[in-house]
Amino acid sequence: MKPRRDITLGEMQDECKRVEGNCGNCNKAINEVCDKILGKPLDPQTPIKWNLTDPPRFTEAQMAFLRGCYGIGIFGIMRSGERARTHFFTKFETVGFLDNAEIPLEPGETLDLAELFGKEGK
Protein backbone atom coordinates (compact mmCIF):
# COMPACT_ATOMS: atom_id res chain seq x y z
CA MET A 1 0.00 0.00 0.00
CA LYS A 2 1.33 3.47 -0.93
CA PRO A 3 1.94 6.05 1.78
CA ARG A 4 -0.82 8.67 1.80
CA ARG A 5 1.45 11.48 0.61
CA ASP A 6 2.24 9.52 -2.58
CA ILE A 7 -1.38 9.07 -3.67
CA THR A 8 -2.25 11.40 -6.56
CA LEU A 9 -5.67 12.88 -7.30
CA GLY A 10 -5.72 10.88 -10.54
CA GLU A 11 -5.13 7.63 -8.66
CA MET A 12 -7.95 8.51 -6.29
CA GLN A 13 -10.23 9.15 -9.26
CA ASP A 14 -9.19 5.91 -10.99
CA GLU A 15 -9.88 3.89 -7.85
CA CYS A 16 -13.26 5.57 -7.42
CA LYS A 17 -14.15 4.73 -11.04
CA ARG A 18 -12.98 1.14 -10.52
CA VAL A 19 -15.40 0.64 -7.61
CA GLU A 20 -18.06 2.76 -9.34
CA GLY A 21 -18.23 5.31 -6.54
CA ASN A 22 -18.83 2.74 -3.80
CA CYS A 23 -16.50 4.12 -1.11
CA GLY A 24 -16.70 1.00 1.02
CA ASN A 25 -15.00 -1.09 -1.66
CA CYS A 26 -12.03 1.13 -2.50
CA ASN A 27 -8.42 0.91 -1.39
CA LYS A 28 -8.13 1.63 2.36
CA ALA A 29 -5.40 4.27 1.98
CA ILE A 30 -7.36 6.08 -0.72
CA ASN A 31 -10.54 5.87 1.36
CA GLU A 32 -8.71 7.51 4.29
CA VAL A 33 -7.45 10.33 2.08
CA CYS A 34 -10.93 10.77 0.60
CA ASP A 35 -12.45 11.01 4.06
CA LYS A 36 -9.91 13.67 5.05
CA ILE A 37 -10.45 15.72 1.88
CA LEU A 38 -14.22 15.40 1.67
CA GLY A 39 -15.05 15.06 5.34
CA LYS A 40 -17.38 12.10 4.93
CA PRO A 41 -17.83 9.09 2.66
CA LEU A 42 -20.34 9.22 -0.18
CA ASP A 43 -20.00 12.99 -0.51
CA PRO A 44 -21.58 14.30 -3.75
CA GLN A 45 -18.10 15.46 -4.84
CA THR A 46 -16.45 12.03 -4.73
CA PRO A 47 -13.36 11.65 -6.94
CA ILE A 48 -15.38 9.94 -9.67
CA LYS A 49 -16.99 13.36 -10.36
CA TRP A 50 -13.79 15.46 -10.26
CA ASN A 51 -12.70 17.23 -13.43
CA LEU A 52 -8.90 17.06 -13.37
CA THR A 53 -8.32 18.60 -16.80
CA ASP A 54 -6.73 22.02 -16.99
CA PRO A 55 -8.84 24.58 -18.81
CA PRO A 56 -6.99 26.35 -21.62
CA ARG A 57 -5.41 29.61 -20.50
CA PHE A 58 -6.23 31.50 -23.70
CA THR A 59 -9.27 31.45 -25.96
CA GLU A 60 -8.89 30.71 -29.67
CA ALA A 61 -9.29 34.43 -30.46
CA GLN A 62 -6.57 35.36 -27.95
CA MET A 63 -4.24 32.71 -29.40
CA ALA A 64 -4.86 34.04 -32.93
CA PHE A 65 -4.03 37.55 -31.71
CA LEU A 66 -0.85 36.35 -29.99
CA ARG A 67 0.19 34.34 -33.09
CA GLY A 68 -0.23 37.49 -35.16
CA CYS A 69 1.87 39.47 -32.70
CA TYR A 70 4.58 36.82 -32.82
CA GLY A 71 4.41 36.79 -36.62
CA ILE A 72 5.26 40.51 -36.82
CA GLY A 73 8.22 40.26 -34.46
CA ILE A 74 6.70 40.73 -31.01
CA PHE A 75 8.65 38.51 -28.62
CA GLY A 76 6.67 39.08 -25.47
CA ILE A 77 3.96 40.94 -23.68
CA MET A 78 3.86 42.21 -20.13
CA ARG A 79 1.04 43.50 -17.95
CA SER A 80 2.23 46.50 -15.97
CA GLY A 81 0.95 47.03 -12.46
CA GLU A 82 -0.65 50.39 -13.07
CA ARG A 83 -3.78 50.88 -15.18
CA ALA A 84 -3.85 47.29 -16.49
CA ARG A 85 -1.65 48.34 -19.41
CA THR A 86 -0.28 45.56 -21.61
CA HIS A 87 3.11 46.29 -23.20
CA PHE A 88 4.29 44.58 -26.39
CA PHE A 89 8.02 44.30 -26.93
CA THR A 90 10.56 43.01 -29.42
CA LYS A 91 13.95 41.66 -28.50
CA PHE A 92 15.25 45.17 -27.88
CA GLU A 93 12.42 47.58 -27.05
CA THR A 94 8.78 48.16 -26.19
CA VAL A 95 6.92 48.84 -29.42
CA GLY A 96 3.44 49.58 -28.12
CA PHE A 97 0.84 49.02 -25.47
CA LEU A 98 -2.88 48.52 -25.04
CA ASP A 99 -4.98 49.54 -22.08
CA ASN A 100 -7.27 46.78 -20.79
CA ALA A 101 -6.16 44.22 -23.39
CA GLU A 102 -8.15 41.00 -23.14
CA ILE A 103 -5.07 38.88 -22.45
CA PRO A 104 -5.26 37.16 -19.04
CA LEU A 105 -2.02 38.25 -17.36
CA GLU A 106 -1.43 39.16 -13.73
CA PRO A 107 0.08 42.60 -12.96
CA GLY A 108 3.85 42.33 -13.51
CA GLU A 109 3.57 39.02 -15.41
CA THR A 110 5.51 38.63 -18.66
CA LEU A 111 4.55 36.16 -21.37
CA ASP A 112 7.29 34.90 -23.70
CA LEU A 113 5.56 34.22 -27.02
CA ALA A 114 8.35 31.99 -28.34
CA GLU A 115 7.92 29.78 -25.28
CA LEU A 116 4.14 29.82 -25.65
CA PHE A 117 4.34 28.59 -29.23
CA GLY A 118 7.23 26.19 -28.55
CA LYS A 119 9.67 27.88 -30.90
CA GLU A 120 13.22 29.08 -30.50
CA GLY A 121 13.58 32.80 -29.79
CA LYS A 122 15.12 34.78 -32.62
66 and 34 together in one domain: no
Domain tally for the chain?
A: 2
Statement to judge: residues 73 and 112 lie in one domain: yes
**Does one domain contain both 78 and 99?**
yes
* Residue 39 maps to a domain: yes
Same-domain pairing of 90 and 66: yes
Residue 54 located in a structural domain: no
Question: In the beta sheet, which residues pair with residue 112?
Answer: 76
Shared-domain flag, residues 42 and 64: no
Paired strand residues for 87: 78, 97
- pLDDT band at residue 4, thresholds of 50, 70 and 90? low
pLDDT interval class at 121 (50, 70, 90): very low
Same domain, yes or no: 9 and 33: yes
Nearest to 78 by CA among 106, 110, 101: 110
What CA–CA distance (Å, rounded) separates 39 from 35? 5
Same domain, 43 and 91: no
Question: Is 122 domain-assigned?
Answer: no
Domain-embedded: residue 87 = yes
What local confidence, expressed as pLDDT, does residue 3 receive? 58
**pLDDT higher at 1 or 27:** 27
pLDDT of 122 > 50? The answer is no
* Domain span including residue 75: 60-116
